[in-house]
Structure 1
Amino acid sequence: MPRLVVEQLFVSHPDKLSVSAECSSPAADEEEDLSPEERRKLERKFKKECKKEEKKLMREAGISTKKAEPKKLSGSELALAYLTSWSENPKEWKFQKTRQTWLLSHMYEKEKVPDEYFTILLDYLQGLKGSARDTTVQKAEALMQELDGLDAEDPTVMEKCERIRQVLQLLS
């Protein structure tokens, strides 16, 4: 088994500790007896042990070893970016069924699709064709009938009805 030699070095600032693992390679006399496959396995194992030891020293020194993961965007952020791309950069815009589906299913909710995006969405809906257009009209009519029976003085219901009315006028 290879031996690990680990050193902690102070870089130019003594208060900042830089940790580096310097691992000695397996002894040369041990390598002579090994087949190429065994040597490769031994080198992999050795490398893995070096990394493990280096991470351990870094943790002890208080240095983070985890890589920062990029922020994942939510479905609403992706859909609104898709819509913005459609309006501002049509040559580079590419159709995405999942984004369109999200927009069509959430377009009546002001919290998810703010007013400035809704006006862009209405322009987008003008190009809607086929079953997507038919389904959108059917769902809008069903929602309108459903909301007719509810409290007409509730501002959220009124906003939703107004959006449904605009969609029906556009697509019918």
Structure 2
Amino acid sequence: MREAGVIAKKEVPKKPSGSELALNYLTCWSKNPKEWKFQKTRQTWLLSHMYDKEKVPDKYFSILLRYLEGLQGNARDTTVQKAEALMKEYDKSETEDSVPLETCERLRKVLQLLS
């Protein structure tokens, strides 16, 4: 192949995205609790993106709600504070189109669970 001038490209394995890693982390927590290990970066990603339906699809959100039940300490307090602040911001919003209904519904569920 070298003589013919054809260069073979090495296939570099694709690294999983932050989304894939976080959702796999959540799935492992749910299905394999003995193998699951806490990872702050994965939890942080989940807490930061849990209201985004595209990043955390509905089938994972129900698992995430069960995960949030065990949330403790500063992470729990911060999550409640951010959810309350977002809800107030959305309540003040003049146009209903600016906030997807799914986002508000997720906010309500998180607040109900953690408050």
Indicate whether the TM-score tops 0.5: yes
Query: Which residue number in structure 1 is paired with residue 6 of structure 2?
Result: 62
Q: Which amino acid aligns with 2:26?
A: L
TM-score, normalisation: structure 2:
0.92
For residue 148 of structure 1, the aligned residue among 78, 91, 97 is: 91
Q: Which amino acid aligns with 1:136?
A: T
Q: Which amino acid aligns with 2:6?
A: G
- Report the CA distance between 1:63 and its aligned residue: 4.2
- Report the CA distance between 1:60 and its aligned residue: 3.9
Q: Which runs of 5+ in 1 are unaligned?
A: 1-16, 18-57
Percent identity reads 71
Write the distance in 2 (CA, Å) between the matches of 1:85 and 1:70: 22
Once superposed, what is the RMSD of the aligned Cα atoms? 1.6
For residue 115 of structure 1, the aligned residue among 58, 67, 73 is: 58
Q: Which amino acid aligns with 1:118?
A: F
Q: More strand by proportion, 1 or 2?
A: 1
- Report the CA distance between 1:158 and its aligned residue: 1.5
Write the distance in 2 (CA, Å) between the matches of 1:97 and 1:160: 24
- For the pair 1:90 / 2:33, whether they are aligned, the reply is yes
Q: Which amino acid aligns with 2:101?
A: M
- For the pair 1:100 / 2:43, whether they are aligned, the reply is yes
The Cα offsets for residues 33-62 of structure 1, whole Å up to 9 and x where unpaired, read as xxxxxxxxxxxxxxxxxxxxxxxxx27441
Q: Which amino acid aligns with 2:91?
A: D
TM-score, normalisation: structure 1:
0.62
For residue 159 of structure 1, the aligned residue among 102, 105, 111 is: 102
Query: Which residue number in structure 2 is paired with residue 126 of structure 1?
Result: 69
**Which of 1 and 2 has greater Rg?**
1
Write the distance in 2 (CA, Å) between the matches of 1:75 and 1:104: 13
Equivalent residue runs for 1:1-20 within 5 Å: none
Write the distance in 1 (CA, Å) between the matches of 2:29 and 2:98: 30
The Cα offsets for residues 55-80 of structure 1, whole Å up to 9 and x where unpaired, read as xxx2744140x421101111111111
Kindly tell me the number of residue pairs found equivalent between the two proteins: 114
Write the distance in 1 (CA, Å) between the matches of 2:99 and 2:56: 13
For residue 100 of structure 2, give the secondary structure of its aligned residue in structure 1: helix
Write the distance in 2 (CA, Å) between the matches of 1:63 and 1:146: 56
Indicate the structure whose relative CO is greater, using CA pairs within 8 Å and at least 6 residues apart.
2
- The answer to whether the Cα contact below 8 Å between 1:147 and 1:157 also exists between their aligned partners in 2 is no
